[in-house]
Amino acid sequence: MSIVLRNYQYVLLSFLAGTSVLGFAILLPNLKLISLVLGDNAVSLGDKLALLVKLLGSLATNFTQLSALTTVLISLLVGVNVSLMLYLYRRQKTGLSRSGIAVSTFGTTMGMFGVGCATCGSLVLTGLLSTVGGLWILALLPFRGQELGVIGVIALGYTTYFFVQKISSPVTCEIK
């Protein structure tokens, strides 16, 4: 992994991808508020940006410790995964296995399902379930859907390990 992280372009890419995921996850509960304020011409650009920045503080007030932790970890791992995937793709197009991308995507998706909500469930999952009247399902889960965040961390952790192994092994033709 150090091969990749020594290159500042990959570090920057990881940072951008990770912070994008983190920002999206934190702001997700208030997309309606944000869209109303951003669409209001009477509000200055400075005030609009200030609100966005201040809403990011809800990571400390609107998340449980578990959900805050999984959200940050998922964002971090997504950032690292993106760089590793790009590195592998550039090094050898076939080196980036489909299963690796699939697990990485799965991990990110699970992570997005698991992020957010405090006592009672994940944000994206709850949003989806509410549209089909299935919110009661969350009440059955001991951590109200936050379990998915943990699954996401595990899946992304696995793909990070998987990609690092791929990068570490030399590009050779194997004996079949």
Partner 1 sequence: MNEEHPQSESLSTQKTLIQTLAVPLSIVIAGALIAGAVLFGLRGNTTPPTAVVPNAPVAQDAGGTLENMKPIAQDDHIRGNPDAPIKIVEYSDTECPFCKRFHETMKQVMGEYGDTGKVAWVYRHFPLDQLHSKARKEAEALECAGAQGGNDMFWKYADRLYEITESNNRLDPTELPKIATYVGIDVAKFNDCLSSGTYAEHVANDLENAVATGGRGTPWSIFVAPDGSKLPINGAQPYEAVKQLIEQNLKGS
Contact set with partner 1 (CB under 8 A)? 28-33, 35-37, 42-44, 47, 50-51, 54-55, 57-58, 60-62, 98-99, 101-102, 105-106, 108-109, 112-113, 117-121, 123-128, 130-133, 135-136, 138-139, 144
Nearer to partner 1, 5 or 64 (CB): 64
> To the nearest whole angstrom, how small is the minimum distance from the Cβ of residue 80 to partner 1?
18
Alpha helices in 39-97 (DSSP H): 45-55, 58-61, 65-91
Nearer to partner 1, 131 or 168 (CB): 131
H or E element that contains 104: helix 98-114
Q: What does the alpha-carbon distance between residue 94 and residue 57 come to, in Å, rounded to a whole number?
A: 42
Residue 124: alpha-carbon gap to chain centroid: 12
> To the nearest whole angstrom, how small is the minimum distance from the Cβ of residue 161 to partner 1?
19
> To the nearest whole angstrom, how small is the minimum distance from the Cβ of residue 56 to partner 1?
9
Nearer to partner 1, 10 or 63 (CB): 63
Nearer to partner 1, 9 or 35 (CB): 35
124-155: buried (b, 16+ CB within 10 Å) or exposed (e) per residue?
A: bbbbebeeeeebeebeeeebbbbbbbbbbbeb
> To the nearest whole angstrom, how small is the minimum distance from the Cβ of residue 63 to partner 1?
9
Question: What's the Rg (C-alpha) of the chain?
Answer: 19
